[in-house]
Amino acid sequence: MSEAVWRVLADRGFGQLTLRAVAAEMGASTGMLTHYFPAKRDLVRYAHAVAEERTLAALYRELDVTGLAALRAYLLDVLSLTPEATAMNRVWVSFWDAAIGDPELAATETARYERWRGKLRPHVVAAIEQGEIPADRDVEDIVASAAALTHGLVVQALFDPDRFPPDRQTRLIDDYLRTLTCP
Amino acid sequence: MSEAVWRVLADRGFGQLTLRAVAAEMGASTGMLTHYFPAKRDLVRYAHAVAEERTLAALYRELDVTGLAALRAYLLDVLSLTPEATAMNRVWVSFWDAAIGDPELAATETARYERWRGKLRPHVVAAIEQGEIPADRDVEDIVASAAALTHGLVVQALFDPDRFPPDRQTRLIDDYLRTLTCP
DNA sequence: ACCTCCGTACCAAACGTTTGTTATGTACCA
DNA sequence: TGGTACATAACAAACGTTTGGTACGGAGGT
């Protein structure tokens, strides 16, 4: 079930997530879907959960590094460095559109962002404690700008993969992290 | 005509840009629209042009500053600092979704990004010549990261306006520009 | 000046498709 | 016997598109 939803999501996006498309993808009927999802809204919620689960799967792995190196690892996880990551990012960008028009989805996206920043925050704190980042910098602002730069690169890479190959995306993140170290 | 299209775009987004919605917005019939736009695709193209025109209107004003200050001014133009700018950004984010599924729209978005970066580039060059940015930094990378940070802030501000009020968005851009000045 | 013709600019209505949703029926298992 | 897990089919609504028709205004002939 989650497989079928993900396949529809990955190659058509959130806007084209339709009951019949999912049903066809799993060789079933729309009646079966309405049995599990009384309304379309429920299917969208489930699809959102599926996408988030796939995202977090990569995010919750253990790291053997701390501070800036850990921050770097988490940011690279989000970039479109592999075809799978690119598909993931396409899904999330399409979700942004859906969320703009739906207050409930917008709220979940707000929460997702805060969760992501919460994941990055301790490593910024550690980087400051380890002296990798000047202590007078604001933690919350660094987290927000790191997230911003990363998602900004994601969007540009989505529309211009030739100009933003994996090694350049990585280099841009590294350049950014380097500027964090200077006072 | 362009007024009606813009109104629909602004409060429903690209995904909900429909012939009937535009027709209703200008108190006309769908037949009239198909007279001017033989196919939906043509209406979408026109809507894209309308949105771009509104964007460029703000972008092509003359500046009495150069270098980093000019770069700052252009980046601030894009941020969601006013309700109008917020509406504009909602439209463009919704356009990203439409562009993901349509190669032709994707190509126009690729071009739009390159045009935007082209607008920023000379000011980065000037900043380097004026010694505001170390000469060993890559111009193209700085332009790309500035665009990325800005659009990343736009998206976060769209879903969390409380956490990203205008003054914080501005501060985050200023912090970024400050890190550019250090070697 | 008048009439005819024709293209432009629309409207109203309908068409076929796709969408979410609902109703009815059926197999199966406890 | 009754509830769960489906399939089939139909439904109304919304969509892009097509059709048939009306109004008008300028061009050309008489």
pLDDT digits (tens, 9 = 90+) for A73-103: 999 999 999 999 999 999 999 999 999 988 9
Could you tell me which residues come within 8 angstroms of residue B58 by beta carbon, excluding any fewer than 6 positions away? Answer: B77
Alpha-carbon gap, residue B127 to B153, rounded angstroms: 23
Task: Considering only residues B42 and B183, tell me which one the structure prediction assigns the higher pLDDT.
Answer: B42
Per-residue pLDDT, averaged over A162-171, amounts to 98
Structural domains of chain B ordered from first start: 1-59 (1.10.10), 62-183 (1.10.357.10)
Q: Is A99 on the interface with B (CB under 8 A)?
A: yes
Residues of A in contact with B160 (CB under 8 A): 110, 113-114
Q: Is B11 on the interface with A (CB under 8 A)?
A: no
Q: How far is the CA of B27 from the C1' of C2 (A)?
A: 38
The pLDDT of residue B60 is 67
Closest nucleotide C1' to the C-alpha of B33: C10
Least confident segment among A38-42, A73-77, B59-63, B104-108: B59-63
Q: How far is the CA of A15 from the C1' of C3 (A)?
A: 57
Least confident segment among A49-53, A124-128, B3-7, B60-64: B60-64
pLDDT tens figures, B147-164: 999 999 999 999 999 999
User: In percent, how much of chain B has pLDDT > 70?
Assistant: 98
Question: Which residue of A99, A149, A175 is in closest CB contact with B152?
Answer: A149
Q: Which of A176, A179, A180 to mutate to test the interface with B (most CBs of B within 10 A)?
A: A179
* Contact predicate B157/B80, CB 8 Å: yes
Residues of B in contact with A158 (CB under 8 A): 96, 100
Cβ count within 10 A of residue A80: 23
What stretch of H or E contains B180? helix B166-181
Please, what is the average pLDDT of chain B? 94
| Banded pLDDT at B57 (limits 50, 70, 90) | confident
Least confident segment among A54-58, B12-16, B29-33, B103-107: A54-58
The CA–CA distances, whole Å, from B123 to A50, B7, B112, B176 equal 43, 34, 18, 15
DSSP 8-class letter at A136? T
The pLDDT of residue A28 is 87
Alpha-carbon gap, residue A101 to A103, rounded angstroms: 7
Question: Does the structure show a pLDDT above 90 at B44?
Answer: yes
Least confident segment among A46-60, A84-98, A102-116, A131-145: A46-60
Q: Which nucleotides of D are covered by protein (CB under 7 A)?
A: 5-10, 14-20
Alpha-carbon gap, residue B43 to B32, rounded angstroms: 12
Task: Give the count of alpha carbons within 13 A of A62, CB side only.
Answer: 1
Q: How far is the CA of A59 from the C1' of D29 (A)?
A: 82
Residue A161 identity: P
Q: Which of A88, A95, A96, A141 to mutate to test the interface with B (most CBs of B within 10 A)?
A: A96
CA of B148 vs chain A CAs: smallest distance (Å): 4
